[in-house]
Structure 1
């Protein structure tokens, strides 16, 4: 799925309708605050991201995506198209840069190339006990069934499961899930871990989250000796 984050109604409407008419599955968001939760929910292959959003900066959102380990291509849309602007975008982790106004045919051509590249470069799913972790799609499967839960709990599960039982330092976990520039405290992390534990008890009882004081957090599976 292509995720479009654009607050301009005219641009968002024309791009989403135009891409849908060409067979691209697409979802349009008008607020940057919804981006990370949507990506963490899985199945996003390409992000089209407006640089200037009313509730945040597109470059900061792209940095957060990369900090959380998401590698899908990001195309930045912006009214600022100088060389310095483009270089700043690439340093933040964007893959392509399209200044406004743009020809829709060019947008389609770039998205087609990015979607093809994303499919070719997608890493193989990681197996851990009963889980299959697809980092490219941002989803965790248990016996082939997708596990769904609150966005932050899901993001924690994705990161911990991908490490297949290895300890993850608490600060690394916070930086990866919430972003390095976040003001999240250990308290907030503990609340999200508690939510994840409850959801696993309900849907995957062979899995548990273990916190080791002074070392970090890990996901353990009773199916693994």
Structure 2
């Protein structure tokens, strides 16, 4: 669904009717205050956000959207079209920027690209057995409780859970968790995995970490055949 946030009745009506006629499901909000509640309901693929709203600034709303963990593409509509304005918009988390006035065909083309990009995004929550991974917040949740442990062990578990049982090469795991410029040894990874195994035995005993020589490391769930 396309979520349109636009207080100007003429512009909002034209966009709503035009996109509906082209087969886009769209919901139109006149107030920025309703944006986060609507986004939290899910099923929003793209947000078309007016910069100048009577009850809030579009940039602040975009920042709030990103801070809440929402990753859907945002297209900003505005009468301000300078380079500085566009850069400020991108820094706030917008994905595209369309100055007013604009050709409707260009809006359709940009929305089509953003909607395609939204389809390629991985799900906000990744589920593996009893674990749910919130990539945006960096949380690993089991039975409604966020798992807490040593930071590096948590970072390793996060990467393994995202892969849902697939093997991760050791060097890739090191590069992701410690950074490509780090000079840590394999022994550091082994120590971190040992810590992680011990914590999993306490917090999520159905899981363990398996090292496959010559191939990599994987998270294994005993409850998944």
Structure 1 length as normaliser, TM-score?
A: 0.60
Gap change, CA 1:93 and 1:32, over 3 Å in 2: same
The answer to whether residue 2 in structure 2 is matched with residue 2 in structure 1 is yes
Render the CA deviation track for 1:86-136: whole Å, top value 9, x for unaligned: 110011010100000100000000000000011112337422767877889
Q: Map residues 133-212 of structure 1 onto 2, 5 A cutoff.
A: 163-164=140-141, 165-167=146-148
1:71 and 1:36 map into 2 onto residues whose CA distance is 12
Gap change, CA 1:60 and 1:131, over 3 Å in 2: same
1:38 and 1:68 map into 2 onto residues whose CA distance is 12
Q: Who wins on radius of gyration, i.e. which is larger?
A: 2
Residue ranges of structure 1 left out of the alignment (5+ in a row): 137-158, 169-220
Q: Report if the CA contact (8 A) 2:60-2:92 is conserved.
A: yes
- Look up the match of 1:37: 37
The answer to whether residue 65 in structure 2 is matched with residue 65 in structure 1 is yes
Q: Report if the CA contact (8 A) 2:133-2:140 is conserved.
A: no
Residue ranges of structure 2 left out of the alignment (5+ in a row): 150-202, 208-225
The answer to whether residue 77 in structure 2 is matched with residue 100 in structure 1 is no
Provide the secondary structure at the position in 2 that maps to 1:107: helix
The worse-fitting range, judged by mean Cα deviation, of 3-12 and 63-72 is 63-72
**Offset at 1:49?**
0.2
Gap change, CA 1:22 and 1:91, over 3 Å in 2: same
Q: Report if the CA contact (8 A) 1:70-1:135 is conserved.
A: no
The answer to whether residue 22 in structure 2 is matched with residue 47 in structure 1 is no
How many residues align? The count is 150
- Look up the match of 1:16: 16
Render the CA deviation track for 1:135-154: whole Å, top value 9, x for unaligned: 89xxxxxxxxxxxxxxxxxx
- Look up the match of 1:190: none
2:104 and 2:135 map into 1 onto residues whose CA distance is 30
Provide the secondary structure at the position in 2 that maps to 1:163: strand
